[in-house]
A and B are shown apart, each in its own frame.
Chain A
Amino acid sequence: MWAYWQSVPAHWRELPARYRLEGGRCRDCGHRTLPEERVCPVCGSKNIERVALPRRGKVVNYSVIWNAPRGYEYYTPYVVALIELEDGTRVFSQLTDVHPEEVKEGMEVEMVIRKTRVSGESGLIAYSYKFRPVLR
């Protein structure tokens, strides 16, 4: 009965971003966001279109998580990073396939899909984008 720690519809609504890195682009000033915002945080325009963002970028800054929130304990220690994609969009994401001591500012990373949160034995398996050091 406690299968759903996370809201399933909320996860489902986010799938375009989580699976395909689809964010919002302001038609007026060109600013891009992930996830898609209804109002452009730069110019205030509501004229937003959905676009697929580039899958590569660089680590701008990062932090190592030792004490994880519920549902993420299994992954500790893990790294969350602010990433600047090739088009300049800034994305906040977990890094994967990398040890905390290997992460550097400026490190080139690429998007992959990984498990982000598993609700016990019977609940939803949530997948989303994570970034890992580029393969080649």
Chain B
Amino acid sequence: MRANRKVGIVGWGVYVPKWRIKSEELARGWGRDWNRYAAGIMVEEKSVPGIDEDTFTIAYEASINALKRARIDASLLRAVYVGTESKPYAVKTTATMLIDALGAGGEGRLTTGADYEFACKAGTEAIQSILGLVGSGMIDYGLAVGADTAQGAPGDALEYTASAGGAAYILGPADRSVAVIEASLSHVTDTPDFWRRQHERYPAHTRAFTGEPAYFKHIMTAARELMSLMGTTPEDYDYAIFHQPNGKFPLRVGTRLGFTPDKIKPGLITPYIGNTYSGSALVGLAAVLDQAKPGQKILVVSFGSGAGSDAFHIEVKEGIEEVQGLAPKTMDYVSRKEYVDYTTYARYRRMIRMLHDFSAY
């Protein structure tokens, strides 16, 4: 897909909570030996949201960082979409809170706003929508966020990876951007590999079925179709970022597509902070933009269970180096950390319920 008017990234920002839990500690909580799982998951520790953090607070901090790099006033934003599968409210849009907190749409709050849900690709789906709005000339600037405080059932394999964090992207006309999204593409099918039913606290997944017919098939289809559209090959790209449910899958899918590990590793953040779901590929892209040079080409392919992939061909422009240092970088957040034990983790994630959680007393 290509917009009538070229669209690019004007600013980007990341936020990752400071708390971490080691995979070893998670395994210990359930009497398991982490060494048996380490090679299969390749995530040594994951971020844990603080007791007062959720998708809105994460989206807010990432958006503030994006605004600093974009060097525009929030009042110019005319679309604010939050991609997440951990909405603070089942019904009340996270974007309403984000719009008011940022002052998007000016005093009159003249902006569209919505939450997107597509498992781990809700954030890139939000980008697709804003690409259309800016590309058609309906708006000049829009904000797309991918953020989650992901749920993994206690004791389940997902508990080793489900983490918290997010990334925000302000898109605008290409001539005002630091990286141009030359083309994008989406691929979606009904592939029930992972879901969470209404009113359930934790998702269900189909174990090995989440791999080949879901993650690998959708990412490879979207990546190949986009490269075919652009007439490019893996050699043409300086960086490749794939959705990162663990540390192993992105390297494997990238290698299968023909990318060398050195093009994948700069944007591979999950081994240090876990899978931030809607933030996953977008945090990886932010880590790459933090160090990218003008003229470099980036391929980004997200994946959301259910299932689908969004692919983007991005070219870095002059001026990116001026904005890279205007806000904390992804690795600043990755290295800002403090470990918690399983008990504190359970409290922060509100797995322990207190009297006042149930009723007024």
Contacts and interface: CB of A to CB of B under 8 A. Distances in A.
**Real binding pair:** yes
A113 B360 contact: no
Interface residues of B, number: 27
B354 A73 contact: yes
B88 A96 contact: no
Contact of A2 (B60, B97, B101, B360): B360
A120 to B, nearest CB: 6
B357 A120 contact: yes
Given A15-B100, A75-B52, A112 B57 contact: yes
B266 interface: no
Given A20-B103, A136-B332, A114 B354 contact: no
B106 interface: no
A71 B56 CA distance: 20
Given A20-B103, A97-B18, A74 B88 contact: no
- When A and B form their complex, which 7 residue pairs have the shortest distance between CB atoms, in order from nearest? A2-B360, A114-B52, A19-B101, A115-B52, A113-B60, A135-B328, A114-B57
B358 A74 contact: no
B258 to A, nearest CB: 38
A29 interface: no
A116 interface: yes
Given A19-B100, A114-B50, A120-B360, 4 more contacts: A19-B97, A70-B356, A113-B57, A115-B54
Interface in A80-136: 96-97, 112-116, 120-121, 125, 127, 130, 135-136
Contact of A121 (B97, B347, B358): B358
Contact of A96 (B50, B101, B103, B354): B50
Contact of B101 (A73, A113, A120): A113
B247 to A, nearest CB: 26
Interface of A: 2, 5, 15, 19-20, 70-71, 73-75, 96-97, 112-116, 120-121, 125, 127, 130, 135-136
Interface of B: 18, 50-54, 56-57, 60-61, 88-89, 97, 100-101, 103, 328, 332, 336, 347, 350, 354, 356-360
Contacts of A120: 356-360
Chain B binding surface, main DSSP class:
loop
A93 B14 CA distance: 25
A10 B356 CA distance: 21
A41 B36 CA distance: 65
Given A73-B354, A112-B61, A115-B57, A2 B52 contact: no
A74 B51 contact: yes
A71 B356 contact: yes
A136 B18 CA distance: 14
A127 B56 contact: yes
B97 A127 contact: yes
Nearest to B353: A121
Nearest to B352: A74
Nearest to A118: B357
A75 B336 contact: no
B263 to A, nearest CB: 29
A120 B97 CA distance: 19
Given A114-B52, A115-B54, A125 B88 contact: yes
A84 B139 CA distance: 39
Contacts of B360: 2, 5, 120
Contact of B356 (A73, A135, A136): A73
A128 B109 CA distance: 19
Nearest to A115: B52
A121 B359 CA distance: 8
